[in-house]
Amino acid sequence: MPVAELLIGGILLGGVYALMACGLNLIFGVMRVINFAHGDILAIAALSTVSIAVGFKLPFWVAVVVVPIGCAAFGALIHVLVLRRIEGAPLIMSLLATYALSTILVNVAILIWGGGYSGLPGVLSGSVRLFGINVSTSRLVSFACALGVSLAVWWLLEFTRFGRAVRSVSRAPELASISGIAIERVRLAVFALGTAMAGLAGVLVAPAFAIDPQLGSRFIIKAFAVIIVGGMGSYPGAILAALLLGVIEVVGSYFAGAVIGSAFLFLLMLAVLLIRPRGLLGAGIRA
Amino acid sequence: MRKINPLGIAGAAGIVALFLPSVGSDYAVSFSIQLLIFLVLAYSWNLIGGYTGYTHFGQVSFFGIGAYVGSLLIFHWDVPWYLAAVVAAFAGAVTAIPLGGAMLRLKGPFFAVGMFGLARVLEAFALGFDSITQGGTGIYLKPVSDLRPLYYFAAAVAAIMLLLTWKLDNSRLGLKLLAIREDEDAAESLGIPTTRLKIGAFVASAIAPAAMGSLYAVYLGFIDPPTAFASNIELTTIAMVLLGGMGTVLGPLCGAVVLSVVNEVLWANYPQIYLASVGGILLLAVLFMPRGIVNLGTKSGWLAVGRPLFRRLAARHGQAS
């Protein structure tokens, strides 16, 4: 068994999961909304990246800058048009709303890009030797960017004024409001930030994976698995769990084939839900 | 203005359903079978999603389990389709009991995500264990020559679900489930055995969909993992219940009829925007009509309020005081 290859492959895969799951987790922590459309935003970002790089023949870094900004704007729009309107409603309403959004986005993606697979040949191709193992450049770069941004957002949450506002809104919205924090503006900013993280994850996924409009539903379940294993609302938990699940998926796929391998993740998620619903590092948030 | 009795609507629907096969074309029967299957799914979802208030994104798991159990029985042992549907329903119940016991310890978003994941796990297993399920190739069944028996079977199950929902809506049990929906801790502290009732509602909402899964496989003459565990079946079912009115007797009926007609028009004319349209309807319903058509009807006064039993009790109470 090629232990080192599998470990490194898994950790590299985990980086993208971390970025995506952290965005999802941030949104859940602050707004108590499970964003089912998160994966589809990732898919559309990835497809847009292909269009920018292959269709318009612009350099890859243009997509790295433009796509997350576009996603943030889109997220802000969703928040204003949909989520803000159902803030006080029962939880089921926000679940249904984002679920509906997700199907709309998949359909729009199929209309624009067609149902087939596309990819980014030639961007960040080649491989690098790392600890005596050949690692593809695109995976290494996307891992570094994804983990870097995830950690940067963590720093933002822990050590800035904005971060303190976000944390207080997530723990006690009423108290935050009394203390003079504009909770609506914080929620809007968090939703836009979370969507931008999904967008960036999509851009980074583009050179490394085959992409199609259904990509979102495959990724969202992995992101769910990550935040449940890590603990809903726990930021470091999500990063840790993402790397762990990346390794488990790669090792599982090596032994049991890709289909069953990714099913391992869900089984692990179900097991964690049953045995320790608050996850590895979760604080036990009341739903 | 005379108010329409909810039972009158259900009765009229029943009469139409009874005579449709003898007067309608094959196309009408085929369309109605789909409508009835969705009607059963919607009534089943209503039990757990509408009354008990648990957002259930995994009902299609039981539909898929039923579809596979039924098709395998028919494929390997040539079991008659109605017997296969009954066995499938049984299989649905048997899998739902332990699953419900485990999953219903989760609340709110955790339950929703867990069930959503479960449906995808089962789809992956159906693809992966191809020695049993023939994986992505799917299982082909002999096409049925006459759809009318299927129609009557689905109509009977739909009628049973409607009657059960009506009984439930007028019972203490229904009130207990509503209490769980509104505030589970408060319900528990009032002595309502919440865990047992939740699991009961969950299992009850799994049985009929499993039978319909088997029936659907026979109706199509084919089943593969993406069809059996299709997320658009889940989406359409939930959209129907929400559009009609969650936790009401007539809600699923109204929602299923309206949305089935809309769906049929969409499929016929704009199949490429089918998903987005259903999603759009669901989204608009969440934003502007979260309590559904039925609630709109009672509010504007053309539909009598449900729960005749409680109205009678209230009337008696009024006389006494």
List chain A domain ranges: 3-113+129-275
In three-state secondary structure terms, A133 is strand
Residue with tokens 């978003």: B109
Decide: B76 and B141 in contact? Cβ < 8 Å: no
Residue with tokens 């489930």: B177
Query: What residue type is assigned to position A37 of the chain?
Result: A
Q: Among partner residues A96, A108, A269, which is closest to B276 by beta-carbon distance?
A: A108
CB contact under 8 A, B279 and A103: yes
CB contact under 8 A, A103 and B276: yes
Q: For an interface test with A, which of B113, B127, B132, B270 has the most A Cβ atoms less than 10 Å from its Cβ?
A: B113
Among B268, B261, B274, which Cα is nearest to B232's? B274
Interface ipTM > 0.85: no
CA–CA separation, B296 and A92 (whole Å):
20
More confident position, A75 or B141: A75
Domain residue ranges in chain B:
6-320
With a CB-CB cutoff of 8 Å, which residues 52-71 of chain A face chain B? none
Q: What is the mean pLDDT of chain A?
A: 84
CA–CA separation, B70 and B29 (whole Å):
22
Q: Tell me the mean pLDDT in the region B184-199.
A: 88
Chain B residues with CB-CB distance to A25 below 8 A: none
CA–CA separation, A272 and A278 (whole Å):
8
Phi, psi at B305, each rounded to 5°: -65, 145
Chain A residues with CB-CB distance to B118 below 8 A: 266, 270
Phi, psi at A258, each rounded to 5°: -65, -40
Among A211, A201, A262, A266, which Cα is nearest to A26's? A201
Q: What is the pLDDT of residue A287?
A: 40
Among A274, A273, A11, which Cα is nearest to A133's? A11
Phi-psi domain of B108 (left: phi exceeds 0; alpha: psi -120 through 50; beta: other): left
Among A24, A42, A19, which Cα is nearest to A34's? A24
- Residue A268 sits at the chain B interface (C-beta within 8 Å): no
Q: Among partner residues A85, A91, A221, which is closest to B109 by beta-carbon distance?
A: A91
In three-state secondary structure terms, A208 is coil
Residue with tokens 């080649």: A126
Residue ranges of alpha helices (H) inside chain B are 6-23, 26-45, 59-77, 81-103, 108-128, 130-133, 148-169, 172-182, 184-189, 194-220, 225-228, 231-244, 251-269, 274-288, 292-300, 308-320
Both tokens of A19, joined, read: 């970025």
Q: What is the pLDDT of residue B39?
A: 93
In three-state secondary structure terms, B14 is helix
Phi-psi domain of A132 (left: phi exceeds 0; alpha: psi -120 through 50; beta: other): left
Q: What is the pLDDT of residue B118?
A: 85
Percent of chain B with pLDDT strictly greater than 70 = 91
Q: Inter-axis angle of helices B81-103 and A258-275, to 10 degrees?
A: 50
More confident position, B97 or B23: B97
Both tokens of A83, joined, read: 């989520």
Query: What residue type is assigned to position A164 of the chain?
Result: R
- Residue A280 sits at the chain B interface (C-beta within 8 Å): no
CA–CA separation, A223 and B244 (whole Å):
32
At residue A69, does pLDDT exceed 90?
Answer: yes
Both tokens of A22, joined, read: 């952290």
Decide: A11 and A220 in contact? Cβ < 8 Å: no
- Shortest Cα–Cα distance, B123 to chain A (Å): 9
Decide: A266 and B117 in contact? Cβ < 8 Å: yes
Class of domain A3-113+129-275: mainly alpha
User: Which DSSP letter does residue B142 get?
Assistant: P
A9-18, A53-62, B28-37, B309-318: which range is least confident on average? B309-318
At residue A74, does pLDDT exceed 70?
Answer: yes
| Maximum CA extent, chain A | 58
Q: What is the mean pLDDT of chain B?
A: 83
- Shortest Cα–Cα distance, B113 to chain A (Å): 7
CB contact under 8 A, A103 and B278: yes
Q: Among partner residues B106, B128, B279, which is closest to A260 by beta-carbon distance?
A: B128
In three-state secondary structure terms, A214 is coil
Residue A262, H or E segment: helix A258-275
Among B249, B227, B53, which Cα is nearest to B138's? B227
Q: Domain spanning B6-320 has what CATH number?
A: 1.10.3470
At residue B90, does pLDDT exceed 90?
Answer: yes
- Residue A100 sits at the chain B interface (C-beta within 8 Å): yes
pLDDT tens for A85-125 read: 888 777 788 888 998 999 899 999 999 888 778 777 766 66
* CB half-sphere exposure, B123, CA atoms < 13 A: 23
At residue B6, does pLDDT exceed 70?
Answer: no
Among B47, B59, B307, which Cα is nearest to B197's? B47
- Name the pLDDT band for B320 (thresholds 50, 70, 90): very low
At residue B184, does pLDDT exceed 50?
Answer: yes
DSSP lists the bridge partners of residue A128 as: A135
Q: Tell me the mean pLDDT in the region A207-218.
A: 83
Both tokens of B270, joined, read: 């704009």
CA–CA separation, B170 and B5 (whole Å):
15
Write the CB contacts of B259 (distance below 8 Å, at least 6 apart in sequence). Answer: B38, B236, B239, B240, B243, B278, B281
Phi-psi domain of B53 (left: phi exceeds 0; alpha: psi -120 through 50; beta: other): left
Q: Among partner residues A32, A96, A221, which is closest to B282 by beta-carbon distance?
A: A96
Q: Among partner residues B114, B124, B275, which is closest to A270 by beta-carbon distance?
A: B114
Q: Tell me the mean pLDDT in the region A188-198.
A: 93
Percent of chain A with pLDDT strictly greater than 70 = 94
Which range has the top average pLDDT, A157-166, A258-267, B309-318?
A157-166
At residue B205, does pLDDT exceed 50?
Answer: yes
Q: What is the pLDDT of residue B202?
A: 93
For B283, the closest chain A residue by CA position comes to A97
CA–CA separation, B157 and B39 (whole Å):
9
DSSP lists the bridge partners of residue B4 as: B303
Both tokens of A135, joined, read: 């690692």
Percent of chain A with pLDDT strictly greater than 90 = 18
Q: What is the pLDDT of residue B321?
A: 40
CA–CA separation, B70 and B74 (whole Å):
6
Q: Inter-axis angle of helices B148-169 and B6-23, to 10 degrees?
A: 170
Q: Among partner residues A91, A97, A274, which is closest to B102 by beta-carbon distance?
A: A274
DSSP lists the bridge partners of residue B140 as: B222
For A275, the closest chain B residue by CA position comes to B102
Q: What is the pLDDT of residue A216?
A: 85
pLDDT tens for B109-152 read: 778 888 888 888 888 888 877 777 777 777 888 777 788 888 88
Q: Tell me the mean pLDDT in the region B222-247.
A: 87
At residue B24, does pLDDT exceed 90?
Answer: no
CA–CA separation, A206 and B309 (whole Å):
60
- Shortest Cα–Cα distance, B72 to chain A (Å): 21
- Residue A224 sits at the chain B interface (C-beta within 8 Å): yes
Q: Tell me the mean pLDDT in the region B36-58.
A: 89
At residue B48, does pLDDT exceed 80?
Answer: yes
A12-21, A76-85, A231-240: which range is least confident on average? A231-240
